[in-house]
Structures are given as structure tokens and as C-alpha cells.
Amino acid sequence: MGSSIAEAGGFAPARVTTDVGDILDYGPAIPDYLDDVYWCYYVKPWAIKLYERPWLVNLILWGWYHGLSDAAVEAMGPSLTGKSVQIACAYGGLTNQLAERVPEGSQLDVVDVVEGQLRNMRSKLPAGARVRALRMDSSDLKVPDATYDRALLFFLLHEMPRDVRTATLKEAMRVVKPGGKIVLIEFAPCAFWHPLKYLWHLPLRVLEPFAHDIWTRPMEHWLPECYHGKKIKKTFYFGRFYQRVEIEV
Ligand SMILES: C[S@@+](CC[C@H](N)C(=O)[O-])C[C@H]1O[C@@H](n2cnc3c(N)ncnc32)[C@H](O)[C@@H]1O
């Protein structure tokens, strides 16, 4: 795995776990909000087992898991040449879908702060997939500037406190090359008439305490200054309940 570490740009991981395929571990602490709010979705091993069911994720997303995964993959491009990064694991088959589009000589990095998530992601990949697993905090990526051609953040931002969200968006902008692309899949500020605005947002407000931001303001509002003036394309789904945001870096 020496060459991969060198490719990471001289930032050496603290540890390399190899029993499920390499995980380059840069040793970040688990952020407080994950431990306090999301431990029962993403951190505990039983939770990872429980939610690793595409039908369940699909149910939680009101039948939109596959449509939104496809929208994410489509925006990333038909062939993921060069280097791509998926910032945070997702349940279901999203990484496998992306991995299918990585040609020989190219590479997909998947970053997550929870080792169990990276192990789970790895366990679903076919042998020989051109994917690296990096245990890092998205708000402090241990890779050099302009490393990647494209980055994907799939339903990550609404689960973050504002300061972590801003730092994560800044890091995404830093590590993607000029001319590259950042793709965000998220909830959207939905129309007043959407029934789920009342049926779903109310209970979800308890389970997802940071999501209110994303439901109430356009994405531009949460983009740090380094995004100002960038070309942004938005596509809405399910009566503006979800959005795909494509940003040219
Ligand atoms: C992408 S989000 C939500 C995905 C969506 N609910 C799904 O699974 O389809 C969940 C992931 O983000 C990771 N995560 C949260 N905060 C992070 C951070 N600061 N750095 C890296 N990964 C993080 C969690 O460990 C979890 O694996």
C-alpha cells in the first residue's frame, strides 16, 4: 500500500488496517455531534448492520434513494477518470455504482470518520475495485490542494452543525482542482404546499437537529465565501423536496 500513501501527497496515515482491504487511518477523533446525535445511525456496529438495507434507506427517503443515487452518479460523469472523492460513506450501493465508472489508472477515494462505515463500504465492493478508504474528518482532509477532479457529498451537510458544514465545504473546494466539480445531494427548502414539509420535517426536526438550515434556505446561503462567483446548477426532485447542486470549481 506504500504507493497509495505516497499518492495521498505525503500525508502519512497513522495506521493502515488491512483485514478488510486497506483503510488508511489518519486518526481523527469522532466528532461530538456524531457521538451525541447520530451514534444510533452511523457509529455503533449494530446500527451500521441495521441500516445497511437499501429498502430501509429507500423508505426513509420516501422511495427516492435509487433516483437520487442515480442523479448523483450521473452528475459525477459517465467515466470517473483521474481522481474522485466521495466525502462520507452512504448506505446502499452508491459507492459500488461510482466504482463501476472508475476506469483503469483512475481512483475513487471514500472518506469517512467512522472506521465501521469504511469497513462496511469495503465489504460490499467487488474484488479489484479502484477504491481507497480514508478515515479522515471531512472538515480537515489530509490531502493536498487540488487533488481531485470531482467530489460528491451525499446527504452529509444537513447532518452537520454549521461550523463543521462550512469547514467541510471549504475543504471540498480546496481539494478539488480548478475546473473540477463538486456535487451535493441534499434536502431542499421545499414549497409550503408539500405535505411532507409538515408530516416529515416535524418529526425529523427531533432526529435531525441540524437539518432545519437546509430546509429553510437555498444552498447558496450555506456556501462559504470561496464559492462566491462559482457556476452553480440546481436540479430539484420530488416537488422540490430534494436537490442536486453541481458546482464548477
Ligand atoms: C453521508 S451521511 C448520510 C448518508 C445517508 N443517510 C445514507 O446513508 O444514505 C452519513 C455518513 O457521514 C459520516 N460523517 C459524518 N460526519 C463526518 C465527518 N465530519 N467526517 C467524515 N465523515 C462524516 C458518518 O460517519 C456516516 O457514515
In this structure, which residue's CA is closest to atom 4 in ligand 1? Answer: 90
Residue that wins the pLDDT comparison between 14 and 168: 168
Query: Alpha-carbon torsion 47, 188, 59, 97, what sign?
Result: negative
Write down the pLDDT at residue 77: 96
CA distance 84 to 37: 29
pLDDT over 90 percentage in the chain: 65
Write down the pLDDT at residue 4: 46
Separation of CA 117 and ligand 1 centre (Å): 8
For residues 37-69, one letter each, b for 16 or more C-beta atoms within 10 angstroms of the residue's C-beta and e for the rest, the string is: bbeebbbeeebbeebbeeeebbebbeebbbebb
Q: Identify the helix (H) or strand (E) that includes residue 233.
A: strand 231-237
Task: Give the count of beta carbons closer than 10 Å to the beta carbon of residue 206.
Answer: 7
Which atom number of ligand 1 is nearest to the Cα of residue 139? 19
Cβ < 6 A, ligand 1 pocket: 31, 34, 42, 57, 88-92, 111-114, 117, 137-139, 154-156, 159, 164
Indicate the top mutation candidate among 30, 159, 183 to test ligand 1's pocket, ranked by most ligand atoms within 8 A of CB.
159
What's the pLDDT band for 2 if we cut at 50, 70, 90? very low
- 149-169 pLDDT, tens digit each: 999 999 999 999 999 999 999
CA distance 183 to 124: 23
Query: Can you list the domains of the chain with their CATH numbers?
Result: 2-248 (3.40.50.150)
What's the pLDDT band for 20 if we cut at 50, 70, 90? low
In this structure, which residue's CA is closest to atom 13 in ligand 1? Answer: 88
Average pLDDT over residues 166-195: 93
Indicate the top mutation candidate among 61, 89, 121 to test ligand 1's pocket, ranked by most ligand atoms within 8 A of CB.
89
